Amino acid sequence: QAKAQGRGTCCYFSADMQNEAEDRLRLEQDLRQALTLKQFRLDYQPLVSAADQSLVGFEALIRWHHPTRGMVSPAEFIPLAEETGLIMQLGDWVIEEACRAAAVWPDFISVALNLSARQLILPALPNTVSEALARYKLKANRLELEVTESVFLGDSEGSLDVLKRLRALGVGIALDDFGTGYSSLGYLNKAVFHKLKIDGSFVREAANNRETVAIIQSIVSLAKSFRMTVTAEGVETADDFTRMRDLGVHQIQGYLFGRPMSFERATDLVHGVQTKMTA
């Protein structure tokens, strides 16, 4: 709100800014307790094969049910968790919870989870992951870890090393939100990523923009030359789906095939007679 007043009008700590700061502080305090109060859960969004629309896996997406604010978006609290360092504990909880879910589902279902760049600073991360896999007797290839290009902003050598150790465990590593970031293609050839996820904004823009289609085309061919799987995120319409499939994208994720859903609903979907999902 303070920002909305425009440049130059705000040269002291205004009441608005104070309110904002207090609100943030309160949210931060609530976030600290949220884990012990069990206010988090993971929802799961289906991933389908572009070829036959069969279910191939889920992406785990964190949800915070705040007692008075209601649902708080991860876009809001993940950055806060990163700044405060809480992401370490929260991230460990996500790994544990996602593995627990994967263990209930059959082998052909993979489970992807999101990692913050900050978690990759921890040299212990590969250990945490391999212990969780062992605890739930999961094959490593059931698990996929999604990171964004932001991991290459900070200590990129250290992060790359952690990613390589994770990859060596046999888990998949996906480059998330591809196309929105820093667009240095140099790191694609580091033998770390097994999958590239094209950002939903691109996918939807492709409906009205021929240049975007051309960009996706070259992303797909680049990824294929590195033997990576390509997923299109944010597929909302049947047109988006056919466009992505015809461009050679392997997997599809988006509201067209399902919104993020509870573990129970996801399990129903897995066990449904029809694993083939219709648009």
Q: Which residues bind ligand C2E (CB under 6 A)?
A: 45, 61-62, 73-75, 78, 94, 113-116, 146, 176-177, 200, 233-236, 254-255, 260
Cβ proximity of 138 and 103 under 8 Å: yes
> Which of 232, 264, 260, 227 is closest to 245 using CA atoms?
232
Cβ proximity of 196 and 176 under 8 Å: no
Which of ligand C2E, Mg ion, none has residue 254 at its interface (CB below 5 to 8 Å by kind)?
A: ligand C2E
Among 45, 114, 116, 159, the residue binding Mg ion under the rule CB under 5 A is 114
Nearer to ligand C2E, 30 or 199 (CB): 199
176 near Mg ion, rule: CB under 5 A: yes
144 near Mg ion, rule: CB under 5 A: no
Binding flags for Mg ion, 225-244, as an x/- string (CB under 5 A)? --------x-----------
User: How far is the C-alpha of 248 from the C-alpha of 217, rounded, in Å?
Assistant: 8
Which of Mg ion, ligand C2E, none has residue 95 at its interface (CB below 5 to 8 Å by kind)?
A: none
Q: Which residues of 244-258 are buried (b: 16+ CB within 10 A; e: fewer)?
A: bbebebbbbbbebbb
- For residue 39 the two structure tokens come to 């206010």
177 near Mg ion, rule: CB under 5 A: yes
Nearer to ligand C2E, 119 or 142 (CB): 119
Give CA 183 to chain center in angstroms: 18
